[in-house]
Structure 1
Amino acid sequence: MAELKDRLQSDLTAAMKSRDDVRTRTLRSVLTAISTEEASGQSARELGDEDVLRVLTREAKKRREAAEAFEEGGRTDQAAAERAEGDVLADYLPEQLGDEELRGLVSAVITETGAEGPKAMGQVMKQVTPRVAGRAEGSRVAAEVKRQLTA
């Protein structure tokens, strides 16, 4: 069912065999986050690829934010470690949308929905978010939607 989860598990085994500490640590952490997500909620369930992708995106964002915080605090060694883990996670995420692609997607949704003004932001975001599906950070999407609705 979850091909992405199976890939993560087999890659973890390969990383352990090759003694790749960064990849091993990162994949263990992500698989733990996936297991936690599966166990939480009303009923335990196995996550599908879309849900696993959501967890991966969230974990990558955590690494990015942690790296920035460590960098600001002058802890460049820790920031580099967080970035290295983020690079490992990037291998499992879909290719990110470029600015031009994101602009076009948001513009198309605004045209389809007939949305006008900042009050329509929620309506547009509701339509854009599934189409983006892990290919652009939510804050980046929101900024573009806001920009186009206020222009």
Structure 2
Amino acid sequence: MLRDTIKAAQIESMKAGDKARLAAVRLILAKLKDKDIELRTAANVPDDDVVVTDVLQKMAKQRRESITLYEQGGRQELAEIEKAELAVIETFLPQQMGEDEVKAAIAAIITETGAEGMKDMGKVVGALKAKHGTQIDMGKASQLVKSALA
């Protein structure tokens, strides 16, 4: 399980004295704890790896946005910290699909669902997230779906 891998990485980082990696892993574990608390009242709880992957993807997206903003603002030292955290987060994420693979998956789902235009975008994005949600950046994928249906 992914959560066990993250906890093992925390122990490895402590033993190795890698403070930067340890801080990033602790951030991940804190976010996971927050998500667990949030899901206590949920009617149906998704599989643990799905929850962990979702949290990691959101954290990675936040780091990418922060890096862009820091670089635009001329705060390179803060951008470097975010890049280091992003590198740690990405080590736990499943392998992401390439753009060509995403386009092929979108084409297959459009054919599968019989989607014909923009009115079917929600159906296509939902099916794409259900099948490949852990392997695709859904922000980029929605743009590709939009262009495929236009």
Shift of 1:134: 2.2
Compared CA separation, residues 19 and 47, structure 1 to 2 (3 A): farther
1:135: Cα distance to partner?
1.5
Tell me the alpha carbon deviations over residues 84-110 of structure 1, each in whole angstroms, 9 at most, x when there is no partner: 110111111111111110010000000
Would you say the 8 A contact 2:102–2:141 is kept in 1?
A: yes
Task: Name the aligned partner's letter for residue 25 of structure 2.
Answer: L
Shift of 1:46: 9.7
1:15–1:21 Cα contact (<8 Å) kept: yes
- Report SS of the residue matched to 1:96: coil
From the superposition, tell whether residues 89 and 42 of structure 1 become closer, same or farther in structure 2 (CA, over 3 Å): closer
Does the Cα contact within 8 Å between 1:124 and 1:145 map onto a contact in 2? yes
- Within-5 A mapping of 1:1-151: 3-43=1-41, 48-150=48-150
Distance 1:78 1:124 in 2: 38
d(CA) in 2 for partners of 1:94, 1:102: 15
Flag structure 2 segments of 5+ consecutive residues without an equivalent: none
Q: Distance in 1 between matches of 2:118 and 2:54?
A: 27
TM-score by structure 2 length?
A: 0.92
**Paired residues of 2:50 and 2:134 also in contact (CA < 8 A):** no
Give the TM-score normalised by the residue count of structure 1: 0.92
Q: Which runs of 5+ in 1 are unaligned?
A: none
State how far apart, in whole Å, the 2-side matches of 1:6 and 1:24 are: 15
RMSD: 1.7
Aligned length, in residue pairs: 148
| Identity in percent | 32
